Amino acid sequence: MTSSPTVTATFCATLVDEWIRLGVRHAVVAPGSRSTPLALAVGARNDLEVHVFHDERSASYAALGIAIESGVPAILLSTSGTAAVQFHAAAVEAHHAEVPMLICTADRPPELQGVGAPQTIDQRNLYGVASRTFVDAGIADDKDFETWRDLAQNCLESACGESPGPVQINFPFREPLIGEIGELPDAKGRMPLKRSVNPTPSRSDIEEVANMLRGKRGVIIAGAGCDSSGSVAQLSRTLGWPLLADPRSGCRITETDSPVVVAAADTFLRSKATAKLLYPDVILRLGQPPVSKVVNSWLQESGAQYIAISATPQLIDPDRVVSRHVLGSISEWCSGLVDYFAEKRERQEGNVEWLSSWQRTELVTQQSITDSLASEKDATEPAVARELSRRIPSGSRLVVSSSMPVRDIEWFAEPRDGLQVYVNRGASGIDGVVSTAIGVALASRVPTYLLIGDIAMLHDSNGLIGLAKRSADVRIVCIDNRGGGIFSFLPQATSLNVDRFEQLFGTPHDSNIELIARAHGVTGLSIDSIDALISQIDQPGPWVACIATNRTENVAMHDRLIATTAEALARES
């Protein structure tokens, strides 16, 4: 006997056992019949947290969130047919964001392919170029008994390799689907997961980059992917350069001694006079580019030499401005450069006034924003972003939706310590944001806040299914401006008549998000002031707090903030 329900059950149990031995701690399962053998294998393990999601798209984004937080993929499982197709959006996001995923798709056996069997589609390499590897597991056969653990290892190593991403393993299960688990093949010692180790920068590499930086007026751009805020800040101080820190970088920290962190660049660089005065000679980008279109445009317009350091080979350079790309651990590069300049006893004395000009501009802008928001009577979108990021307890997580929420955090969140910010910026879509936050909460086991708009909230309201019973403290702040708020900032808003704009871009809706939350057993409430938001922040989740705003007034509010800041900077010059 080479294939039987027992062989299938043992094969699945072996894969799960090996993945657990290598560090996998979560499985996300979307229910279905054809996936029974693997579902039973994960359900039988007490050392694996199993999370069941009714909606496959929600399941896939929850698995994405788990991997974003932990760095280790969850076992993601679906039945056959269109169920497996629902994983595609999350796979694309994981591909571009370099997040590891183990996607297990159950399938019909070969004899049911191409004959019109229900729930049967061509699942071979279903996610195309988004997959790091596609594996056809085939019908389980005991003659391959000794290779099963190797298969599990190879799949996990591919997902977590030099460029992490999704791996699809397709399982054509033949009925009967339930079998007794037999003896598993022996484990070959506890082999650690072979993660790609970035090359340590050599002395000559350090010297080459140091020569590009020496004696120049420059800026450090810290994006997602920085692994040590302390080493990044130390390099900024050594060079006498400002540190423009994207919220996702973890480098937007509070400093009292010689502060170098700049958080309000998006606001003050909108002033053309200020922007030109601050053009650098050299740009050193660590990790991914910032979210801010204003900052990226300013970097491009400056014409400065642009050096990018990243931990993976993928270079993100949509503006085609990077002149030198180096690969390696960002913390090692920063420490190596700091040590090099210390050894040479070089101090960037000429940059004192350069850094001071940035510090003054940052101080004036932050004060202007504070004063402007304090003068507003209602709970504005910028004020919500600023206060939420300021008041969240240290050690928490903040997940931010694409479109306006991430931009408001980029523009208005002040430096602070003890907060990790996550945004799905691989493909920058609004898919699955609620479920991503739930995945982060499941993996982190700490309060996880989500700042999201109403359209993105409705797009993934299925993520709320079962949330009330999960061990996930998710606290959702939903900006409800009855439509697509970001489009009000684009040319469509002024070039089209109001009716056409609202039909195609504003897209108003009549959904009551509070009631949707309550329908899922989650606390839903309305908040109408910043004070009420501050009072709600510390309440244990899950809850959804909706804040009603007006899209037109929101644009005007942003314009007032920019104008007020420009006036304040002009007075200081």
In the numeric block, the tokens 């479920």 are attached to: 435
Say what the pLDDT of residue 2 is: 57
Say what the pLDDT of residue 141 is: 92
- Give the pLDDT band of residue 218 (cuts 50, 70, 90): very high
Say what the pLDDT of residue 1 is: 42
How many percent of the chain have pLDDT more than 90?
87
> CB neighbours of 117 closer than 8 A, spacing ≥ 6?
108
The three-point CA angle 66-137-151 to 5° equals 65
- Give the pLDDT band of residue 256 (cuts 50, 70, 90): low
Say what the pLDDT of residue 215 is: 87
Q: What is the pLDDT of residues 417-465, one digit of tens each?
A: 999 999 999 999 999 999 999 999 999 999 999 999 999 999 999 999 9
495, pLDDT greater than 50: yes
- Give the number of other CB atoms < 10 A from CB of residue 355: 22
Mean pLDDT of 110-119: 90
What's the whole-model pTM score?
A: 0.95
Rounded CA-CA distance 522/517 in Å is 5
Q: Is the dihedral of CA 210, 213, 216, 217 positive or negative?
A: negative
Chain-wide mean pLDDT for the chain? Answer: 93
Measured between alpha carbons, how far is residue 451 from residues 64, 267, 273, 385, 536 in Å? 18, 20, 33, 8, 14
Nearest to 428 by CA among 459, 452, 409, 401: 401
Rounded CA-CA distance 538/536 in Å is 6
The DSSP code sequence of 229-240 is: HHHHHHHHHHHT
348, pLDDT greater than 90: no
- Give the pLDDT band of residue 200 (cuts 50, 70, 90): confident
Mean pLDDT of 529-550: 96
Say what the pLDDT of residue 351 is: 80
Question: What are the chain's domains?
Answer: 5-172 (3.40.50.970), 203-362 (3.40.50.1220), 376-572 (3.40.50.970)
Q: What is the CA radius of gyration of the chain?
A: 25
346, pLDDT greater than 70: no
- Give the pLDDT band of residue 33 (cuts 50, 70, 90): very high
Mean pLDDT of 558-570: 92
Who wins on pLDDT, 385 or 228?
385
Residue 333's Cβ-side half-sphere holds a number of Cα atoms within 13 Å equal to 27
Rounded CA-CA distance 225/97 in Å is 10
